[in-house]
């Protein structure tokens, strides 16, 4: 079949306008498909994995936004003494927008030593010691730096919070690339208020043998009659609950991905049918020259496969470049879903294009291979 590839390419180029429109339409549909897949992967990364199930988040009962949760920081000492608890990190959260937004800025303030112990990131530029030595210093995630054009030494202000960038980091967690880390006491004193002694949430890291559900109930029972009642959930459950409305929307958008696949199937199949109709007499001549019906079927299938695969590759490459360069994300209540490209997603997109190309070529190929030679030669 490979010796007929030049013939197939020549046939496609013969109607170049139709071919280019089909390839471009397929590319756009696969770009949207991969974009939706990236959003779904970002949501899954927040709610799955060992960290999501082995870390607890303690926050104020009935809190509806990070700023509304004000826990006494000394709860940290009480929780640390509980059996099964490895460490507790006090975190102050500030965000410029609690509602769903594509450009939310989320600050997390915590002690530098805790940050170094429990956050896995590499500084692309800047110096951690400079950050730790300066009260209003900040470490900025790579995606935030890309969106806002930030670099080391810049001063960044959002709302009433102003920081000096002392480092740009790349985290192993895609969501953290959309965060800005500051020192805990700085964020407690920011925005003209003195909130030293209160935090937004406590991040509880457990030993391997600990029972997360049991310790979560123990923490809430301990502070039920205290100055501030708490609600404790695993990190994955906390993030899933916070993003419940967005997750429902993303679940609905999932059907849009299937619609894109259907669009590609319809587009490629229609183009292939038109190509077969244009070359009825040509296929009859090929069979007269000794080409078997199965070979004609293969030629049409190859043409459909090339159209779909080429468009799919362009769509996958386009989505990868777009997602890599834009650092896009969506956040709600201080929890961020990162839109990150991945090799798995790229392979999935190309495989979808290949499968669609094969399916789209079956009916037109069968039609071409079953054509009666005499009636086809008489075709005007």
Task: Count how many domains the chain has.
Answer: 2
Tell me: do 121 and 150 sit in the same domain.
Answer: yes
Spatial separation of the C-alpha atoms in residues 156 and 176, rounded to whole Å: 18
Does 53 map to a domain? no
Tell me: do 70 and 6 sit in the same domain.
Answer: no
Spatial separation of the C-alpha atoms in residues 372 and 380, rounded to whole Å: 14
Tell me: do 202 and 77 sit in the same domain.
Answer: yes
Of 228, 257, 277, which marks where a domain is finished?
A: 228
Tell me: do 150 and 223 sit in the same domain.
Answer: yes
Does the CA dihedral 54-55-58-63 come out positive or negative? negative
Spatial separation of the C-alpha atoms in residues 87 and 100, rounded to whole Å: 31
**pLDDT value of position 288:** 67
Model pLDDT for residues 175-214, shown as the tens digit of each residue: 899 999 999 999 998 866 678 889 999 999 999 889 999 9
Residue 287: its H or E element: helix 280-288
**pLDDT value of position 193:** 66
pLDDT for 318 beyond 50: yes
Does 191 map to a domain? yes
The two structure tokens encoding residue 9: 């390419």
Tell me: do 6 and 93 sit in the same domain.
Answer: no
**pLDDT value of position 380:** 47
Higher-pLDDT residue of 287 and 370 is 370
Higher-pLDDT residue of 329 and 224 is 224
Q: Over pLDDT 90: what percentage of the chain?
A: 48
Does 51 map to a domain? no
Residues whose CB is less than 8 angstroms from the CB of residue 50 and which lie 6 or more positions away in sequence, other chains included? none
b or e along 68-83 (b: 16 or more beta carbons within 10 Å of the residue's beta carbon)? ebbbebebbeebeeee
Tell me: do 66 and 200 sit in the same domain.
Answer: yes
Of 176, 193, 228, which marks where a domain is finished?
A: 228
Does 238 map to a domain? no
Closest CA to 185 of 109, 134, 122, 112: 109
Least confident span in 53-57, 64-68, 261-265, 269-273: 64-68
Tell me: do 214 and 317 sit in the same domain.
Answer: no
Does 316 map to a domain? yes
Does 251 map to a domain? yes
Query: Tokens 């490209």 correspond to what residue?
Result: 341
Does 137 map to a domain? yes
Model pLDDT for residues 320-350, shown as the tens digit of each residue: 998 888 778 887 777 888 887 889 999 999 9
Spatial separation of the C-alpha atoms in residues 251 and 249, rounded to whole Å: 5
The two structure tokens encoding residue 242: 């916070």
Tell me: do 28 and 99 sit in the same domain.
Answer: no
Q: Provide the residue range defining the domain that includes 14.
A: 2-46+245-377
Spatial separation of the C-alpha atoms in residues 80 and 86, rounded to whole Å: 7
CB atoms within 10 A of CB 231: 18
CA dihedral 135, 204, 124, 147 (to 10 degrees): -80
Does 304 map to a domain? yes
Closest CA to 95 of 22, 191, 167, 15: 191
Mean of all residue pLDDT scores within the chain: 86
Q: How far from 191 is each of 64, 69, 334, CA to CA, in Å?
A: 20, 16, 17
Burial class (CB in 10 A: 0-12, 13-18, 19+), 274: middle
Tell me: do 302 and 373 sit in the same domain.
Answer: yes
Q: Identify the DSSP state of 207.
A: P
pLDDT for 314 beyond 90: yes
Helix 5-14 to helix 293-326 angle, to the nearest 10 degrees?
70
The two structure tokens encoding residue 353: 């294009």
Higher-pLDDT residue of 308 and 4 is 308
Spatial separation of the C-alpha atoms in residues 49 and 69, rounded to whole Å: 26
Tell me: do 199 and 224 sit in the same domain.
Answer: yes
Q: How far apart are the first and last CA of the chain?
A: 29
Contact between 69 and 367 under an 8 Å Cβ cutoff? The reply is no
Tell me: do 106 and 130 sit in the same domain.
Answer: yes
Tell me: do 299 and 369 sit in the same domain.
Answer: yes
Rounded to an integer, what is the distance from CA 39 to the centroid of its chain? 4
């Amino acid at each position: 079949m490979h010796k007929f590839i030049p013939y197939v390419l020549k046939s496609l180029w013969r109607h170049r306008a139709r071919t280019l429109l089909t390839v471009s339409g397929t590319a756009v549909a696969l770009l949207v498909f991969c974009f939706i897949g990236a959003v779904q992967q970002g949501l899954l990364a927040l709610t799955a994995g060992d960290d999501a199930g082995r870390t607890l988040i303690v926050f104020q009962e009935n809190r509806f936004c990070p700023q509304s949760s004000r826990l006494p920081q000394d709860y940290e000492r009480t929780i640390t003494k509980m059996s099964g608890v490895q460490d507790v990190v006090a975190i102050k959260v500030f965000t410029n927008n609690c509602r769903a937004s594509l450009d939310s800025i989320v600050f997390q303030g915590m002690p530098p030593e805790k940050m170094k112990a429990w956050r896995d990131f590499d500084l692309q530029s800047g110096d951690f010691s400079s950050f730790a030595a300066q009260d209003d210093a900040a470490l900025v995630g790579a995606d935030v730096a890309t969106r806002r054009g930030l670099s080391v030494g810049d001063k960044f202000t959002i709302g009433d919070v102003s920081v000096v960038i002392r480092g740009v980091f790349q985290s192993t967690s895609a969501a953290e690339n959309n965060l800005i880390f500051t020192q805990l006491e700085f964020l407690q004193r920011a925005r003209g208020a003195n909130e030293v002694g209160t935090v937004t949430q406590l991040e509880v890291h457990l030993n391997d043998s600990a029972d997360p559900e049991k310790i979560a109930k123990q923490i809430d029972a301990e502070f039920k009659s205290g100055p501030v009642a708490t609600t404790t959930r695993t990190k994955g459950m906390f993030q899933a609950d916070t993003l419940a409305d967005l997750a429902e929307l993303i679940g609905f958008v999932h059907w849009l991905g299937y619609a894109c696949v259907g669009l590609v199937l319809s587009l490629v199949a229609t183009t292939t049918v038109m190509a077969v109709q244009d070359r009825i007499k040509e296929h009859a001549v090929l069979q007269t020259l000794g080409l078997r019906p199965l070979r004609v079927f293969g030629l049409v299938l190859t043409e459909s496969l090339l159209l779909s695969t080429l468009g799919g590759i362009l769509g996958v490459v386009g989505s990868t470049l777009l997602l890599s360069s834009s650092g896009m994300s969506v956040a709600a209540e201080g929890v961020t879903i990162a839109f990150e490209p991945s090799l798995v997603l790229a392979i999935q997109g190309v495989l979808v294009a290949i499968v669609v190309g094969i399916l789209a070529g079956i009916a037109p190929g069968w039609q071409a291979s079953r054509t009666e030679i005499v009636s086809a030669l008489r075709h005007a």
